[in-house]
């Protein structure tokens, strides 16, 4: 039976942002989605992608750069703070 060892962050190349993720993070930093509600539909339109791609990219950002993004629920809506 093969033994599996956990992958350390140093060995995990998935921590590098794709061009799309980097662009989305930059856009999030410029916008005020911590104060105004988030719209995945508007983000998808902005980047000319399907909503699923936005969801996947935001999820990836929370894993890859958790110190730079916060996703939270407030007053009945999703909000995203990024810096």
Please state which CATH number belongs to domain 18-82. Answer: 1.10.10
pLDDT in tens, 38-82: 999 999 999 999 999 999 999 999 999 999 999 999 999 999 999
At residue 5, the pLDDT reads 38
pTM above 0.85, yes or no: no
- pLDDT surpassing 80 at residue 13: no
- pLDDT surpassing 90 at residue 25: yes
Q: What sign does the CA torsion over 13, 16, 20, 25 have? A: positive
Residues 6+ apart with CB under 8 A from 79: 33, 34, 35, 36, 37, 38, 71, 72, 73
């Amino acid at each position: 039976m093969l033994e599996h060892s956990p992958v350390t962050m140093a060995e995990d190349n998935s921590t590098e942002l794709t061009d799309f993720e980097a662009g989305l993070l930059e856009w999030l930093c410029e916008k005020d989605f911590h104060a105004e509600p988030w719209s995945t539909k508007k983000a998808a339109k902005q980047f000319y992608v399907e909503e699923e791609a936005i969801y996947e990219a935001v999820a990836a950002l929370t894993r890859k750069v958790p110190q730079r993004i916060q996703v939270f629920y407030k007053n009945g809506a999703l909000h995203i703070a990024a810096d």
